Amino acid sequence: MVVTPVTIRPEARAQILDTLQTQKIPADYGLRVGVRGGGCGASWLLGFDLPGPTDEVYVVDDVRVIIDRKHLLYVLDATIGFEQGDEGWGFVVDRQAAVSLS
């Protein structure tokens, strides 16, 4: 069994694969998952990028996922979804595991 640090919901997977294809993003790119900022002001970082020397690359449900090693602890057990509603549409991230740094 292969363990992956994040889960991608089917609706998010479909949107990611569609974006990769329609925007003609090269196959060596992947979905970068990370955090930006720190403390209470931290926010999720999602975008298409090339892996760098400090990154780990995973394949999650046919989606290439790139995570910087220093972000791995913070994104572990995150679930990436995609929602559409009256306010618009976009990716959402839910993280079940609580990480205490104290």
What is the domain-level CATH number for residue 55? 2.60.300.12
CB 5 within 8 A of CB 26: no
Distance, C-alpha 59 to centroid of its chain:
11
Residue 101 in domain: no
Residue 100 in domain: no
Residue 30 in domain: yes
Range of the domain at 89: 6-95
Q: How far apart are CA 8 and CA 95, in angstroms?
A: 12
Residue 41, token pair as written in the block: 């002001």
Q: How far apart are CA 100 and CA 102, in angstroms?
A: 6
SS3 75: helix
Residue 46 in domain: yes
pTM for the full model?
0.84
pLDDT at 65: 97
The structural domain count of the chain equals 1
Residues of the chain with pLDDT under 50: 97-102
